[in-house]
Amino acid sequence: MDENAAPLFRQVADLVEDSVVDGSLPEGDRAPSTNELAAFHGINPATARKGLTLLVERGILAKRRGIGMFVEAGARERILTRRRAEFAASYLAPLVDEAVKLEMTRDDVHSLFLRVAESRGLYE
């Protein structure tokens, strides 16, 4: 966990969401328990519980009394829809703000974007 980033409970929620998005935690499967997450990440169980509760509120996980939490049907698409809607404000606006401070041109930013994308295997 990165203690300098978002609150730990949000990091827990993001990690579980990432697992749903990448398919390592498919819809219908049981999600890691509060205690499993707490032990694995070395955090307080209350913090892990708060992250899982956030996912229940978002409709990503559903509680099944006595057996745990499970990934809801349609969870992956709900995550992608929300993240796409937040993408510009969360990632592009700060990037453009920093580029302006650095006096980079549109072409500079575009060229840099393409170089980074290619180095990550995108647009090959």
* Of 43, 62, 47, residue with least CA distance to 10: 47
Q: Answer yes or no: is pLDDT of 3 > 60.
A: no
Q: What is the spatial distance between Cα 46 and Cα 24, in angstroms, rounded to a whole number?
A: 24
pLDDT tens across 26-85, in order?
999 999 999 999 999 999 999 999 999 999 999 999 999 999 999 999 999 999 999 999
Q: What is the CATH number of domain 8-73?
A: 1.10.10.10
pLDDT value of residue 116: 93
Specify whether the CB–CB gap between 65 and 25 falls below 8 A.
no
Q: What is the spatial distance between Cα 97 and Cα 88, in angstroms, rounded to a whole number?
A: 12
* Mean pLDDT computed over every residue of the chain: 94
- Which residue would you say has higher pLDDT here, 1 or 45? 45
CB under 8 A, 24+ apart: contacts of 17-23: 17/55, 17/60, 17/79, 20/60, 20/71, 20/75, 20/76, 20/79, 21/76, 21/79, 21/80, 23/76
Q: What is the spatial distance between Cα 38 and Cα 25, in angstroms, rounded to a whole number?
A: 18
pTM given for the model: 0.80
pLDDT tens across 38-54, in order?
999 999 999 999 999 99
Sketch the domain layout of the chain as residue ranges.
Answer: 8-73, 86-120
- Per-residue burial over 61-86, b = 16 or more CB atoms within 10 Å of its CB, e = otherwise: beeeeeebbbbbeebbebbeeeeeee
Q: How confident is the model at residue 124 (pLDDT cuts 50, 70, 90)?
A: low
pLDDT value of residue 65: 92
pLDDT value of residue 14: 96
Specify whether the CB–CB gap between 31 and 25 falls below 8 A.
yes
